[in-house]
Amino acid sequence: MKLIRYGAEGAEKPAMLDDAGLLRDLSAHIADITGDTLDDATLAKLRALDPADLPIVEGEQRIAPCVGNIGKFLCIGLNYSDHAAETGAAIPEHPILFFKANSAIVGAYDDVVMPRGSTKTDWEVELGVVIGKTAKYVSKADALDHVAGYCIVNDVSERHYQTQLTGQWTKGKSCDTFGPTGPWLVTRDEIADPQNLDMALDVNGKRMQTGNTATMIFTVAEIIEHLSSLMTLHPGDVITTGTPPGVGLGMKPEPLFLKKGDVMDLTIQGLGHQQQKVDQDA
């Protein structure tokens, strides 16, 4: 099942995508797609609906972030062996954790706006994991039972802020619009193996990133096991799990970064497509 939120910011409505690619409104069945509606029982009720009985969403609509009222936005860094190699970083012994401010979250087709003076804004296609059931001290074997579904996340990063403004990575990860999320929340029953998903990112039509979640250092299950040993994961929390090689920072002979007017296109197998145009604060 592919769940989607549509509408203007602050007035989003829930929908599902039918087999013909039409949006079907779910407002008569749930108020929104949030942690309150991502439990297995509610998802089972939605799955049992006949999409043909749901109203078609007419007209062009803004595609909103696929989860509303996200609790924690947790991010794993340097989690692809081939990405670590391109940046010259050592393989981490444990998952590297940083947070992204919730104010960074935007829809899959909303603009990405670089902060004033930014010259090192970078792209990162990532698999997003949406928690559907409270997780505390869960084992790797049980971890995926706590997942509601998966989505695409663009972990946009300002590398100067990330590495040269005294502090932690969060500074370079949390700028407004730096967390496009969606377009769909694809429920876990549709993703047979989250560790075998092709992923790609283009800038201005040129392929920059090509990868597969098989090269993750820590699997989705291992990440959930680790994080749930540190903190309780709640329904509606989102974990973004690292990026494959091809980021601008790793380009040779010189790094390559985004500029105003650039267009990013992101895909992950089974999870749809994102596109963002790049703008810059004056």
Give percent of the chain with pLDDT exceeding 90.
89
Task: Answer whether residue 187 shows pLDDT above 90.
Answer: yes
Quote the tokens at residue 246: 């091809």
Give the number of other CB atoms < 10 A from CB of residue 40: 15
Top CATH class of 73-280 equals alpha beta
Task: Answer whether residue 117 shows pLDDT above 80.
Answer: yes
Where in the chain do CATH 3.90.850.10 domains reside?
73-280
**Structure confidence by residue, pLDDT tens digits, 125-154:** 999 999 999 999 999 999 999 999 999 999
Quote the tokens at residue 279: 């703008």
Give the chain's mean pLDDT: 95
pTM of the model: 0.96
Contact 106, 65 (CB under 8 A): yes
**Structure confidence by residue, pLDDT tens digits, 219-270:** 999 999 999 999 999 999 999 999 999 999 999 899 999 999 999 999 999 9
**Structure confidence by residue, pLDDT tens digits, 54-104:** 999 999 999 999 999 999 999 999 999 887 777 777 889 999 999 999 999
Give how far Cα 199 sits from Cα of 6, 18, 245, Å.
Answer: 24, 23, 11
Res 162: pLDDT: 87
Contact 148, 187 (CB under 8 A): yes
DSSP annotation of 259 reads -
DSSP element (H, E) containing 154: strand 147-154
Quote the tokens at residue 241: 């799990």
Sign of the Cα pseudo-torsion (73, 78, 83, 86, in order)? positive
Res 246: pLDDT: 95
Contact 1, 46 (CB under 8 A): yes
Is 166 or 207 the better-scoring residue by pLDDT? 207
Listed range (28-32, 48-52, 163-167, 262-266) with the worst mean pLDDT:
163-167
- b/e 133-150 (16+ beta carbons within 10 angstroms → b): bebeebeeeebbebbbbb
Give the C-alpha separation, 158 to 123, whole Å.
9
Q: Pick left, alpha or beta for residue 88 (phi over 0 → left; psi -120 to 50 → alpha; otherwise beta).
A: left
Give the number of other CB atoms < 10 A from CB of residue 121: 26
Task: Answer whether residue 163 shows pLDDT above 90.
Answer: no
Task: Answer whether residue 191 shows pLDDT above 80.
Answer: yes
Q: Which residues contact 269 (CB under 8 A, 6 or more apart)?
A: 197, 198, 199
Res 81: pLDDT: 85
Contact 214, 79 (CB under 8 A): no
